[in-house]
Amino acid sequence: MMRRTIPTLIAVALLGFYLFPIYWMYATSFKTLTEAVQYPPTLWPSEPQFHHAEVFQKFSVARYFVNSIVITLGVTAITVVVGTGTAYALALRRNLFVDLILFTILLLQALPASLMVTPLFVLFNMAGLLNTPRFAVVLAVAAKSLPFFIVICRTAFLQIPRELRDAALVDGNSNVGVFFNIALPLARNSIVVTAVLIAIQTMGEYVYSRSFIAKIELQPLTLGLSNFIGAQQTDWIGIMTFASILVTPILIVFIFLQRRIISGLTAGALK
Amino acid sequence: MNQVELSAVEKHYGEYHALRNIDLSIPEGAFVALIGPSGCGKSTLLRSIAGLEQISSGTISIAGERVNDVPPRRRDVAMVFQSYALYPHMDVERNMTYSLRLRRRSADLIAAAVREAAATLNLSGLLGRYPRELSGGQRQRVAMGRAIVRHPKVFLFDEPLSNLDAELRVKMRGEVRALHERLGATSIYVTHDQIEAMTMADHIVVLKAGRIEQQGPPLALYDRPANRFVAGFIGSPSINFIEGAVTADGGHVTWEGLERPLSLGRRLSAAQRVQIGLRPEHLAVATDGTMAMVVDTIERTGSQTIILGRCGGQPMTVIDHGRPVLARGDNLRLAVAPDHIHLFDPDSGAAV
């Protein structure tokens, strides 16, 4: 009895620890300003308020949201299209050259965004890309997320037995056909999962957007959120309401894809 | 006309010389087995015929057409893989029709081909299942089905039975052979199991280190092995090899410890050193035998008795088809017919 209870208690405690900030964000978003800053804090809003519609309109959340979606879709599309092809090519052959490429890819990923942002700003400025700042952010973030995508998807392609490709070639397919008919369907789960993880990460992207996007009309949600923090005062209710609007769609996507994400992580049982 | 023709085929992987000067002619409708130990190049040779490997030099022709630079999909060959290589994301029916769908055959033709193949292979009830829901034997049959729906010019088999358990393997051996008889298509079959090759093939090609050691009908290889390697590879339990020499008169052979030289029934140059090969099944336990043997171990299978011991100081395996009453340490006398004595050059290994 004890042997099962204690691990369960630990698991519940850890889960609570992880989920509490999310709960706090949602709870605060329903509080009045006075209740939000009162000490000791209340765990549950005593007089629940709905600021959400008001905040949504007043702070043009829709516009920020569209910008975030544009950037996220752009990054995910570029990463998936370029990354899947690259990962497949790098999975087909094993030699010193491929190892060198993989090493370089991993090395590039290790550079933090805060380090890359200045040289990229200069580069994009010279190239005139800052006239289309969301596209500049898409390029920068895609470049950053590609290595992760390539490494994960290459592993997925490597798990496909060579004989499956051979069988398809003998059965009458071309190399391109084998990629689309055999390799892609079998690596689909890994590709979807990695793409979702990258999309979620991009929704939270801040550094490049902050530096490249000056026009407020083109800024994504993360920048909108930071606008609440003023020099004199911080609108905690606004922040929490805004944040809960930002997080909710991500959580919904996660819940819907949860089954697939888990099966993607355990995929590979090809035999 | 020869369906598959290989001439002077060479294959290098960097420094590694995988195939050396392979010449092979396979008549239409023949069942050819490629055998040899692992790493001998038999799978590479098969994959080269399929077009999955590029040969370094030489020519490969299928049905009279040079196919060196033809991709696998245009060679009209079907291949059955050791791991079966069924497409995990397709059910049995789509696995079997994949090649026909790629060739955009009509739906009627595809349906008819599947029906026929499924009936032949007892797969009719499994068409909607996925490979993961099938047993090993069923997967193997689907792999066969995928090949036969196509009616290809050549069937290529890459150790298709080696993942099955022993009982099923023997059963499928018969079925593959029966299928070949019925379809009459040219088949090339890679195996490391000499019994499979001996029982199924019309023509056996023995490979070693990328070179053809000998090729011919199964019994010819058994009766007249061209060299020591082939003699040792074909036959089970394997042949006994003894270091010996031809006697001074040139008509007998002997080894140290043997009391009476064995008559050869032919004349050879006197006193040359030879390796003597005696198949266990050709050694007869006989009271008037000329060789004395001391028994070490006796293995009884019911149908035969395998006697392991020493004969003139040399280890020797003998098969007896009776059930002799024997114990460790017993003395036997063995006889062998002169035409069952194989002799090989001790240096080159070639038959003498």
User: Mind listing the domains of chain B with CATH numbers?
Assistant: 2-232 (3.40.50.300), 240-344 (2.40.50.140)
Distance, in Å, from the CA atom of A219 to the CA atom of B235, rounded to the nearest integer, reads 79
pLDDT of residue A196: 87
Q: Does residue A10 lie within any of the structural domains? A: no
Q: Note whether A170 contacts B: Cβ–Cβ < 8 A.
A: yes
Q: What is the pLDDT of residue A268?
A: 41
The low-confidence residues of chain A, meaning pLDDT below 50, are: 267-271
For residue B122, give the amino acid letter. N
> What is the pLDDT at residue A45?
82
- Residue A176 touches partner B, C-beta closer than 8 Å: no
Which residues does chain A have within 8 Å of residue B87's beta carbon, measured at their own beta carbons? Answer: 164, 167-168, 182
Q: Find which of A171, A180, A191, A270 to mutate to test the B interface (most B CBs within 10 Å of its CB).
A: A171
Q: What is the pLDDT of residue A58?
A: 79
The CA-CA-CA angle for residues A23, A26, A28, to 5°, reads: 105
CB pair distance less than 8 Å for B102 and A182: no
Question: Which residues of chain B are within 8 Å of residue A169 when distances are taken between CB atoms?
Answer: 51-52, 71-73
Q: Is residue A12 part of a domain?
A: no
**DSSP structure class, residue A179:** I
Task: Report yes or no: A271 at the B interface, CB cutoff 8 Å.
Answer: yes
B262's enclosing H/E stretch is: strand B262-263
B47 contacts chain A (CB < 8 A)? yes
- The tens digit of pLDDT for each residue in B57-112 reads 999 999 999 999 999 999 999 999 999 999 999 999 999 999 999 999 999 999 99
Which of B53, B54, B102, B132 best tests the A interface by mutation, with the highest count of A CBs <10 A? Answer: B102
With a CB-CB cutoff of 8 Å, which residues 85-124 of chain B face chain A?
85, 87-89, 98-99, 102-103
SS3 B308: strand
Q: What is the CATH number of the domain that holds A74?
A: 1.10.3720.10
For residue B97, give the chain A residue with the closest CA.
Answer: A171
* Number of domains observed in the structure of chain A: 1
**CA distance readout (Å), B231 to B220, B239, B241, B304:** 11, 7, 9, 22
Count how many pairs of residues, chain A against chain B, have C-beta atoms within 8 Å.
63
* A40 Cβ under 8 Å from any chain B Cβ: no
- Cβ separation A168–B47 shorter than 8 A: no
A191: Cβ contacts below 8 Å, ≥ 6 apart: A80, A84, A153, A156, A184
| Chain B residues with CB-CB distance to A182 below 8 A | 87
CA distance A200 to chain B (A): 28
Range of the domain at A226: 47-265
Whether A180 maps to a domain, the answer reads yes
Is A102 within a domain?
Answer: yes
Which stretches of chain B score pLDDT less than 50? none
Q: Does residue A144 lie in a domain region?
A: yes
Indicate yes or no: CB of A171 within 8 angstroms of CB of B73. yes
List of chain B residues whose C-beta atoms are within 8 Å of the C-beta of residue A167: 79, 81, 85, 87, 146
**DSSP summary character for residue B227:** B
Predicted local confidence at residue A267, as pLDDT: 46
pLDDT score for A135: 94
Give the 3-state DSSP-derived string for B126-180, with helices as H, strands as E and coil as C: HCCCCHHHCCHHHHHHHHHHHHHCCCCCEEEEECCCCCCCHHHHHHHHHHHHHHH
Residue A15 belongs to some domain of the structure: no
Q: What is the mean pLDDT of chain B?
A: 92
Residues of B in contact with A174 (CB under 8 A): 71, 73
Contact A169 B73 (CB under 8 A): yes
The DSSP symbol for B82 reads T
pLDDT digits (tens, 9 = 90+) for A164-188: 999 999 999 999 999 999 999 988 8
The DSSP element (H or E) to which B232 belongs, if any, is helix B228-233
Q: Does the residue A5 lie in any domain? A: no
